């Protein structure tokens, strides 16, 4: 299948796609500062974060203004470290009608933590965000999509902490993240008599391999026409999708961190294009929060999580659904 091939006749009209995008396209923001990025985790120690002038408040206010201009509601996954130091910013996000989510406290990769460390980090973040906003937070996204086949134990921890929705799965292969064999569209994970809704980042499958469509560095670096064409294809098939980015991606003047070449390429390439591309997306599509998109998606398939002999995790269709076939 060629993702750039012309669309076939009989597809949904532009008006129909616009209506579908209002409910089937979610917008999300990972609220962190530029020096929190995983690309710099070996270059900027958490012990010096408090000594670095922050830019996250001003950059996030730019995002809020941009969304207000286009009447866009989104889910903001806030870093607990940011919520502790900028509680008024968290309140502004909530008062603007957006959904709040948790993006961990210290932006440590999940697969580098023990379950106990993950739980403590998440509890601290949850407390900071909820205290700042005065609302319950029930959505989570891990730093750099780091819930992977080796750290999928985190789903049970999230359910135990009261989370109802997660957006940590990126169904691709990557050196830093990825759960390549995971389902590509929203689904439920039954856990201990409860369930967690998982909203993966959008991909396109070419042959036997999944490729990213948009979001973050892909939003900045992939051809914009490629991104919009594939998002429209998902809408035509009534498949929910989510876009993500970070406030620092609207800040090309941010300080440069002394880091390895690959890290600097991933972080800085295309920063000057971010705002223009977001404006294009916001003018072409209509976005909602993750919760709104999930509610509009109808019943979601269930996938059980099991552990393999190699001590990794995999998804498979839930037994309850197999019994109904």
The residues, ordered by sequence, that sit 6+ positions from 70 with a Cβ below 8 Å of its Cβ are 279, 282, 283
Residue 229 CB-half CA count within 13 A: 13
- Nearest-Å Rg of the Cα atoms of the chain is 19
pLDDT tens digits for the chain (325 residues)? 444 443 443 455 665 655 555 678 999 999 999 999 999 999 999 999 999 999 999 999 999 999 999 999 999 999 999 999 999 999 999 999 999 999 999 999 999 999 999 999 999 999 999 999 999 999 999 999 999 999 999 999 999 999 999 999 999 999 889 999 999 999 999 999 999 999 999 999 999 999 999 999 999 999 999 999 999 999 999 899 999 999 999 999 999 999 999 999 999 999 999 999 999 999 999 999 999 999 998 899 999 998 887 768 889 998 766 554 4
Burial label for 70, CB within 10 Å (0-12, 13-18, 19+), is middle
Query: Which two structure tokens, joined as six digits, stand for 10?
Result: 């009989």
99-134 tens-digit pLDDT: 999 999 999 999 999 999 999 999 999 999 999 999
Distance CA 29, CA 131 (A): 20
154-202 tens-digit pLDDT: 999 999 999 999 999 999 999 889 999 999 999 999 999 999 999 999 9
Distance CA 177, CA 179 (A): 7
Domains and CATH numbers, the chain: 26-43+52-324 (3.20.20.370)
Residue 27 Cα distances to 47, 115, 285, angstroms? 32, 29, 10
Q: What is this structure's pTM?
A: 0.92
């Amino acid at each position: 299948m060629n993702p750039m091939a012309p669309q076939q006749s009989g597809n949904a009209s532009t008006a129909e796609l616009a209506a579908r995008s209002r409910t089937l396209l979610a917008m999300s923001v990972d609220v962190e500062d530029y020096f929190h990025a995983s690309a710099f985790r070996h270059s900027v120690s958490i012990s010096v974060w408090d000594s670095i002038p922050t830019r996250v408040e001003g950059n996030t206010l730019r995002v809020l203004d941009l969304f207000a201009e286009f009447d866009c509601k989104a889910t903001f996954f806030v870093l607990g470290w940011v919520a502790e130091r900028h509680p008024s910013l968290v309140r502004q996000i909530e008062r603007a009608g957006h959904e709040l989510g948790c993006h961990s406290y210290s932006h440590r990769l999940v697969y580098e933590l023990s379950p106990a460390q993950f739980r403590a980090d998440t509890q601290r973040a949850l407390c900071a965000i909820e205290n700042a906003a005065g609302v319950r937070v029930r959505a989570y996204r891990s730093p750099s999509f780091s819930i992977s086949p080796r750290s999928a134990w985190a789903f049970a921890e999230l359910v135990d902490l009261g989370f109802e929705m997660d957006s940590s799965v990126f169904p691709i292969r990557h050196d830093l993240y990825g759960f390549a064999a995971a389902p590509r569209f929203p689904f439920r994970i039954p856990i201990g008599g409860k369930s967690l809704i998982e909203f993966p980042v959008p991909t396109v499958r070419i042959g036997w391999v999944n490729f990213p469509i948009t979001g973050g560095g892909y939003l900045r670096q992939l051809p914009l026409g490629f991104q919009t064409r594939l998002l429209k294809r998902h809408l035509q098939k009534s498949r929910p999708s989510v876009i993500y980015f970070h406030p620092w991606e609207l800040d090309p003047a941010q300080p440069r961190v002394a880091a390895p070449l690959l890290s600097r390429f991933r972080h800085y390439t295309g920063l000057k294009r971010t705002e223009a591309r977001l404006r294009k997306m916001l003018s072409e599509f209509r976005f909602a929060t993750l919760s709104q998109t999930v509610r509009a998606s109808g019943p979601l398939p269930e996938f059980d999580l099991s552990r393999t002999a190699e001590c990794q995790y995999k998804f498979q269709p839930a037994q309850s659904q197999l019994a109904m076939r």
